[in-house]
Amino acid sequence: MPTQATINVLISQPPPLNISVGQPANIRPQISQPVPIQTEQVIAPIKADSNIIGVKGDPGTNATISVGSVVTGDAGSSVSISNSGTPTEAVLDFVIPKGDLGETGASITSVAIDGNNIVFTKDDESIVTLVDAMLALKGDTGETGASIISAEFVGDDLVFTKDDSTTVTLADAKVALKGDQGIQGIQGDPGEKVELQKTETYIQWKLIGDEEWINLVALIDLKGDIGETGLTGETGEDGREIELQKSATHIQWRYAGDASWTDLVALADLKGADGAGVPTGGTTGQVLKKKSNTDYDTEFGDLVAVSVTTKGDLQTHNATVPDRLAVGTDGQILAADSAQGNGLKWIDPNDQNLSDFVTKTGEETLTNKTIVKPYLSANSYIEYNSTSETIDFVIT
């Protein structure tokens, strides 16, 4: 009797199968485990003593496997895999049992930002961290919106005007500008720096580098109604005594007994502008002098050069420039002379005949004598004083 053989056909190296318990029925998992498919037994009679070798047959068709339906089964049931295709074109249908209901998990009690991470704290004090979530949650940069060109309070509302002429109003902003602290947002690009100033009627702002100031809020809107006069407080303690000093650059102050000084005001800020009529410049030795009859029309200039060089020289003027009159000889006197360039000259004394009144040497009584006045110069002469009986030198 021929021996019967049972042939089990195993399709090896199938696609991988990943199965997750609890997946919905419409999700098709990938296959990651080998799946044996048992075909029908083929019984062929073979003689025990036969050594016949048959002819090699043609290559068979390659088998294929694909995933069909995936259905969630009842809790506690077994996993079922069936082939709804053919032996060579297998279509595997899965029935995955539903898992048991798990325990209630911990609830999230708070969310915090830590750098670029989002940290969740649960009521069992455990934490879950989403690393770099702040970076991953950032969307694409949107289109540039309209810019705010002005802002002003209208009553209690803050009204912003944009460069497309639209406005945005924050109702009751003056009353409720402060809200609860929110979660820190992603840091934006640095904005342009602004400047603020106070005029007589407004607080104004502008971007640094711009020329035009924009009214931000009227000063009158910042002032509330005058309240009732409060109670007079108790007399406070005397304040600490302060000391002042001047350094090379500042006026400084400190509390008496302290070691360090604090700058109060720069000396340069206490200096006013130069007064009118005082020009800048000039060099050592120059003097300030008038240029014209106009007020404050002045300039720095050199002093007039002195031309005297010798002992006894006189500094004169020739009607144009300073001039030197050299010293005369011993006994000469200075006389006016319009014929000279500087109007002066040295002359000898007028040598008149002194014998008219002095005829002898030694003492002599002068009685009833006539004395001619000998002129020494145009402004000086000698005369006899009959009262005192002396000879006087007279200068007129």
- Is residue 90 within a helix (H) or strand (E), and if so which, with residue range? strand 89-97
379 neighbors 363 (Cβ within 8 angstroms): no
The DSSP string of 96-150 is EEPPPP-PPPPPEEEEEEETTEEEEEETTS-EEEETTHHHHT--------PPEEE
Query: How far is 109 from 121, CA to CA, in rounded Å?
Result: 6
Query: What single letter denotes the amino acid at residue 290?
Result: K
Of 362, 381, 363, 361, the residue nearest 373 (C-alpha): 381
99 neighbors 22 (Cβ within 8 angstroms): yes
What is the side-by-side strand order in the sheet with 157-162? 148-154, 157-162, 167-170
N-to-C CA span, the chain? 190
Per-residue pLDDT of the chain in tens (396 residues, 90 and over written 9): 443 333 333 333 444 444 433 334 343 444 444 444 444 444 445 454 556 677 777 777 777 888 888 888 887 788 888 888 888 888 888 888 887 777 787 888 888 888 888 888 988 888 889 888 777 777 777 788 888 888 888 888 889 899 888 998 988 877 776 667 778 888 877 778 888 998 989 999 999 888 899 998 898 888 777 888 888 888 888 888 999 999 999 999 999 999 999 999 998 888 777 666 677 888 887 888 888 888 888 888 877 666 777 888 888 888 888 888 888 888 788 888 888 888 888 887 654 334 433 434 444 455 555 555 554 555 666 666 777 766 666 666
Query: How far is 381 from 371, CA to CA, in rounded Å?
Result: 12
Determine the pLDDT at residue 344. Answer: 87
Show the CA angle centred on residue 73, arms to residues 67 and 75, nearest 5°.
Answer: 140
298 neighbors 277 (Cβ within 8 angstroms): yes
158 neighbors 175 (Cβ within 8 angstroms): no
pTM of the complete model:
0.20
Query: How far is 371 from 390, CA to CA, in rounded Å?
Result: 12
